Amino acid sequence: FAARKAIVAEFEELGLLEKIEDHGLTVPYGDRSGVVIEPLLTDQWYVRVAPLAEPAKDAVKNGDIQFVPKQYENMYFSWMNDVQDWCISRQLWWGHRIPAWYDNEGNVFVGRDEAEVRRENNIADSVILSQDEDVLDTWFSSALWTFSTQGWPENTDDLKTFHPSDVLVTGFDIIFFWVARMIMMTLHFVKDENGKPQVPFKTVYVTGLIRDDNGDKMSKSKGNVLDPLDMIDGIELEDLVQKRTGNMMQPKLAAKIEKDTRKVFAGGIEAHGTDALRFTLAAMASTGRDINWDMNRLEGYRNFCNKLWNASRYVLMNTEELDCGFANDADKEFSLADRWILGQYEATVKTYTEHLDNYRFDLAANTLYEFTWNQFCDWYLELTKPVLFKGNEAQQRGTRHTLITVLESLLRLMHPMMPYITETIWQRVAPLAGLETENTSIMVQPFPVYNESSVDAKAMDDLEWVKQFILAIRNIRGEMDISPSKPLSVLLANASSDDVRRIEENKSFLASLAKIEEFTMLENKDDAPACATSYVGNLEIMIPMAGLIDVEAELSRINKQLEKAEKGLAQVQNKLANEKFVNNAPEAVLAKENAKLAEFSDAKAKLLEQKTKIESL
C-alpha cells in the first residue's frame, strides 16, 4: 500500500485532509498468492459489438438458427438485447498475440504480421516496432472456429462443403461467451456465393450441466468432481483421494473431501468402459435439464454392454460356419418369432430415428435398450432355441438368417451411441451377412432406414399373445413357488378360435419356454379340480395344484413372509403417523418411506391372495 500511504501524506502536506475514519469493505485476496489484489488501469482493446448484434439476433428470429430446447432463445436474446463493448485484451503468457505494433512515438499499426505492417504503412526497417504484449480473449479466437478451421479466408473446398455446419452441442452457461460470438463473427466475415452472410450452424443443441448425485455443481473445491477417464478405466481408492485433494486452492478442505471420498468410493471406481459411459450420458440427456449423476445407472449400462456382447456370442455360436441363407437361394422358412422380431426391429428403427430427429437422445437410448434387452435378448433368442435344436433344415436356415439380419442391422443402429463394442462385433457378424469388412468400418455403412414392408402385423399380434401366455404360466409358478423346470399340464377354458389356432401353431414355443407338457381344452370349467388360474384375454389358464406343492410347507412359508411384511408395514405406518417426523424429514426421506409403504402393502396383499389359493386346495 505504498502508493496509498504516499497519497495520504501529500494530502496532509497540502492541508487537504479533513479526517481519517474506518470503512468496512471487502478486500479481495488471491487464492494462490494470499496477498491483496490491487486494481491497475491499463489500455485495453475492445470490439464494438452493437453493429454485430443486430444481424445475429435476426438470424435466430427468422429461423436460420434454432435453439433446442427452444426456451434457450430467451437467454440468447436477453444477452443480445443488452450487449456491451467486448474487451478482448488478456494479460497472459499464452494465447494469440494481439496483431498490433507500436513505434517509438506511440503510433499503432495493425496487420497479420510485422512484415505486412511495414509494407502497408511504408515503415522503414530502421524504425523499431514492438508488438502488443496482450493476447486475445480465448472466446475471440474460439468465435472464429467454424470457418477458420476450414481454410478461411481462402474459399477452400472444405469451406464450401462443410460450412455452415449442422448442429452445435454446447452448455447453456456459454451461450453468450461462445455461441453468440460465433454467430456474430461468422455473419460478419463469411458470405455465400451470392454475398449473403452465412450462419455458423443451423441448430444449437443445449445440454444440461452434469451435477453430483445430490444435485450440486461439480467443483474441485467441493471435492465432488468425477473424471470421465476414471469411470472408463477405473481408479484405486488411494489414487482417487490423491487426485481429489492434491493441488487444492483451499487445502483446509482436503480432510473433509478425503473423508467423503473414502465413504462414497470405498472400493475406488471400477472400470466401466467408454461405451457404457457414452450410453449413460445419452440415456440421461433429457432436453436441456441438468443431470444428477448416478453411478448405479453407469453400472447398469455396463451390464447392458455385457448383455449385447453375450447375445452376440450366442448368435455367432449358432451361425458361424453354418448356412445362414445369404450366399444361395436355398429354402428358408421363417418362424413366427423370426417374423415378429423383424417387425419389432423396424418399429425400433422408426421410433429411434424420430427421437434422434427431435434431439431426444434419452428416449433414443431407452428405445435401443428396450428392444435389445427385452425383445431381442430376453425373448427372441430364447424363442430361437426350439427351432435351432429341433427344427428342420429350412427352419434353421431361416432363423439363422434372421439372427444375422437383425444383429447386423442393430449394430449399425447402435453405433453412434456405442461405437467401440459395435465395431468389434460387426467385424465378425457382417461377413456372415455377405458384407465386405476388409479395410472398412461400420461407421461408413448406411444407417438403417424404416422399412414398413418388413412388418408382419399378424405375426406381431400372435407372438404378443404367445408372450402373454408364457408370462401367465411363469406368474403362477412364482406365486405358487413351483420350480421353473417342472413340466406342467394346463387346462384351458373359454378358448376362442384364435386361441386354439395360436396354441396349435406355437406348441413348440409354449412347451420350451413355459415348460408345458400337455394342453387340455375344457368344455365346462366347473369340471376342473382345484387350480391356480390366470387369464390371457378371455382365455382362462388353469394349473391343477394337486401333487405340485406341499400345502402345509407352502402355508408355513407364506405365513413367515406375511409376518415379515406386516411387521415392516407397521414400522413404516408408525413412522409416517409421527407428525414431527413428517414435518422435519427431507423430501427425499419421505419419498423413500412412502415407497416402502407401497411395497409392504403390495407384498401383504399378494401373500394373502396366495394363502387363500393354497388353503382352497
Cβ atoms of residues 282 and 362 within 8 Å? yes
- 339 and 403 within one domain: yes
Please state the pTM of the whole predicted model.
0.80
Q: Does residue 269 belong to any structural domain of this protein?
A: no
Q: Does residue 526 belong to any structural domain of this protein?
A: yes
What is the Cα–Cα distance from 333 to 392, expressed in whole angstroms?
9
pLDDT for res 525: 74
Q: Kindly state the DSSP code that residue 522 receives in the 8-state scheme.
A: -
Domain boundary among 411, 437, 453: 453
Q: Does residue 23 belong to any structural domain of this protein?
A: no
- 572 and 521 within one domain: no
Domain boundary among 158, 186, 207: 207
**172: three-class secondary structure by DSSP:** helix
Note the Cα 281 to chain centre separation in Å.
3
- 157 and 91 within one domain: yes
- 194 and 61 within one domain: yes
Q: Kindly state the DSSP code that residue 532 receives in the 8-state scheme.
A: E
Residues of the chain with pLDDT under 50: none
The residue type at 589 = V
Say which CATH number the domain at 197 has.
Answer: 3.40.50.620
pLDDT for res 423: 98
pLDDT for res 254: 87
Q: Does residue 2 belong to any structural domain of this protein?
A: no
- 597 and 530 within one domain: no
Say which CATH number the domain at 305 has.
Answer: 1.10.730.10
Helix (H) / strand (E) element for 256: namely helix 254-264
What is the Cα–Cα distance from 189 to 184, expressed in whole angstroms?
9
Say which CATH number the domain at 582 has.
Answer: 1.10.287
- E-strand ranges in 190-231 read 201-207, 210-211
What is the Cα–Cα distance from 120 to 111, expressed in whole angstroms?
8
Residue written as grid cell 434422434: 356
Domain hosting 440: range is 291-453
- 468 and 441 within one domain: no
| Cβ neighbours, 10 Å, residue 48 | 9
CA-based nearest residue to 472, from 543, 564, 529: 543
Assigned C-alpha cell, 411: 449394430
- 177 and 156 within one domain: yes
Domain count, the chain: 4
Residues with Cβ within 8 Å of residue 440, at least 6 apart in sequence = none
Cβ atoms of residues 163 and 156 within 8 Å? no
- 384 and 319 within one domain: yes
- 533 and 471 within one domain: yes
Note the Cα 488 to chain centre separation in Å.
43
Q: Does residue 411 belong to any structural domain of this protein?
A: yes
- 558 and 534 within one domain: no
Q: Is 602 exposed, middle or buried (0-12, 13-18, 19+ CB in 10 A)?
A: exposed
Q: Does residue 232 belong to any structural domain of this protein?
A: no
- 297 and 151 within one domain: no
- 467 and 391 within one domain: no
What is the Cα–Cα distance from 356 to 166, expressed in whole angstroms?
14
Half-sphere exposure of 228 (CA within 13 A, CB side): 10
Domain boundary among 453, 485, 519: 453
Q: Does residue 485 belong to any structural domain of this protein?
A: yes
Q: Does residue 251 belong to any structural domain of this protein?
A: no
Residue written as grid cell 510485422: 114
Note the Cα 372 to chain centre separation in Å.
16
**555: three-class secondary structure by DSSP:** helix
